[in-house]
Structure 1
């Protein structure tokens, strides 16, 4: 018996087909429509329904390329289940390179949203009703913010056995147990019963190849772990390091920052991470690790003020 067609918005996608559509969001002052771009890959065989999204923050470009590459390799004639891809959620922010929406709201603090709420609330509501409500698993793609760059990592609920299995399948260098934030897509989706992996890698408004590559490989591994596709790697990936605690080392002075710590580097408590210098090159203060761990994030800002976050260290279990 053939699978039923997949309904989303005004369209029905037949099994074994790929369908692109645009879900209306709002209208610009010029009269032009602003739509949420969606592509559905509806497999011929039964399987889970999964979504993958990117650019909930409009300055995060890495995930858009991850989605493009994942879609390029999917064949609906052999796919088991259904994939819903939303490469750019914050369309208005993405067009201007802004993290936020025009009213300065953070879309990832606006879920589950409301059909009659703010612009952010309406986009969130559209995502929840047309995408999340139809899925059992989601992969939310992000990058660092505010001139920060992140080591490829999965942030999720490691206490849930199935979510943990999928995080292990993704095989990012680090998987971190992360608390839920009110208003986030991950929080709202979990309330609806979905398992969600949040991928962080690279820097905002950059197309970091290493962050893209790790994301593409990870998403493909998750689809294979769910039985939707066949594994493509001949050898198993390196297992993720596991972290349950992390924190930012903060500057204890103001100056030009010269960081020595690299992403993925292991450090011990007290290790030198870099230094602060005045405009003539005189050292103001050194930056030291406040814990043992692995560098999962770092600022790329040349100037830091006292109290600014400088290096993100995750305590890992071997």
Structure 2
């Protein structure tokens, strides 16, 4: 079957064509144009349109590395259909190594945005009007913030059989059920009937090869499932099935002090197991942090100093049977 016409951002993408569309989103105070490259690869054969995106939060650079390698390894050259890659959505945050837009807003909380709103709101509006309507599937890559390191995981809404099947296909070590957040990119995609998987892995301002590999291999399995994977690429199906987590809880620091973690993200821990110590800098007090229940450790704080009330560990409390 021949491909249907595809128009994106005023550009007509022909069957079998590769194109980079640079979108000017704003100008700096110096009048320098700020552009976001959108990399598009079309097969000559008709099929779904898939988006791989990252950098919605500008400091979550591990997601950018995953999408970069998808492009670099030519995984984005599809057997059929179209693959759109946006390695950095929040180019402002990436340049400034910041989570937010220059207006101080979190881009992932202002969707669907407004044509006449704040800078972040205007860009959210652009994504909703220009990008989301042409895609069928999306994988959006994120990382933990504030020194918190996430185990590689997919997040989907509960009670959605289609997303659950796609999460099984992606097969990250963990899949968490989490509701869509109002104003989020994922929520905007859901409202426009785009099937999105949200990938979390690693932490902000950090590159981790294991997280990167988990994202790449999951993306290849995702494309293979859609019969879109480049025939020159192989998908790895030897990994253990993803663990579905229905409920989880954050463990928060009961004391302020120097923080030393004693266990790794992804491990199964037992109730009462010592997870970390929090100490004063003068050698007088050392508090042990114990696991309140058994479960998988899906996030750990890598900070050296914590304050009372800081989130330090995320642990599963109920797995899906």
Superposition TM-score, scaled by structure 2 size: 0.94
Q: Counterpart of 1:93? A: 93
Indicate whether 1:225 and 2:247 are aligned. Answer: no
Cα RMSD after superposing both structures: 1.7
Matches within 5 A, 1:103-114: 103-114=103-114
CA distance in 1, matches of 2:316, 2:48: 33
Structure 1 regions of 5+ residues with no counterpart? none
CA distance in 1, matches of 2:55, 2:78: 28
Counterpart among 264, 286, 303 of residue 262 in structure 1:
264
Q: Counterpart of 1:11? A: 11
Distance verdict in 2 for CA 1:145–1:102, change over 3 Å: same
Distance verdict in 2 for CA 1:45–1:261, change over 3 Å: same
How far has the Cα of 1:158 moved from its partner?
A: 4.2
How far has the Cα of 1:211 moved from its partner?
A: 0.8
Q: Output one character per residue of 1:174-202: Cα deviation in whole Å (capped at 9) or x when no partner.
A: 00001110000001110111111100001
Matches within 5 A, 1:30-69: 30-69=30-69
How far has the Cα of 1:24 moved from its partner?
A: 1.9
Q: Is the 8 A contact 2:4 2:46 kept in 1?
A: no
Q: What's the secondary structure of 2:81's corresponding residue? A: strand
Q: What's the secondary structure of 1:46's corresponding residue? A: coil
Q: Is the 8 A contact 2:50 2:83 kept in 1?
A: yes
Q: What's the secondary structure of 1:80's corresponding residue? A: coil
Q: Counterpart of 1:297? A: 299
Q: Output one character per residue of 1:206-251: Cα deviation in whole Å (capped at 9) or x when no partner.
A: 1111111111111111111112125713643211011011111111
Q: Is the 8 A contact 2:150 2:200 kept in 1?
A: yes
Counterpart among 296, 311, 314 of residue 313 in structure 2:
311
CA distance in 1, matches of 2:51, 2:72: 16
Q: What's the secondary structure of 1:165's corresponding residue? A: helix
Q: Output one character per residue of 1:127-149: Cα deviation in whole Å (capped at 9) or x when no partner.
A: 11221111111111000101111
Q: Is the 8 A contact 1:16 1:77 kept in 2?
A: no
Q: Is the 8 A contact 2:167 2:197 kept in 1?
A: yes
CA distance in 2, matches of 1:242, 1:261: 21
Q: What's the secondary structure of 2:48's corresponding residue? A: strand
Residues paired across the two proteins, number: 318
CA distance in 1, matches of 2:273, 2:84: 45
Indicate whether 1:147 and 2:162 are aligned. Answer: no
Q: Counterpart of 2:198? A: 198
CA distance in 2, matches of 1:227, 1:158: 26
Structure 2 regions of 5+ residues with no counterpart? none
Q: Is the 8 A contact 2:220 2:235 kept in 1?
A: no
Superposition TM-score, scaled by structure 1 size: 0.95
CA distance in 2, matches of 1:160, 1:317: 14
CA distance in 2, matches of 1:220, 1:234: 8
Q: Output one character per residue of 1:277-297: Cα deviation in whole Å (capped at 9) or x when no partner.
A: 111334432111122211111
CA distance in 1, matches of 2:7, 2:227: 22
Mean Cα displacement is larger for which, 285-294 or 70-79? 70-79
Q: Counterpart of 2:275? A: 273
Q: Is the 8 A contact 1:52 1:67 kept in 2?
A: yes
CA distance in 2, matches of 1:154, 1:310: 20
Q: Counterpart of 2:166? A: 166
Q: Counterpart of 1:238? A: 240
How far has the Cα of 1:78 moved from its partner?
A: 5.3
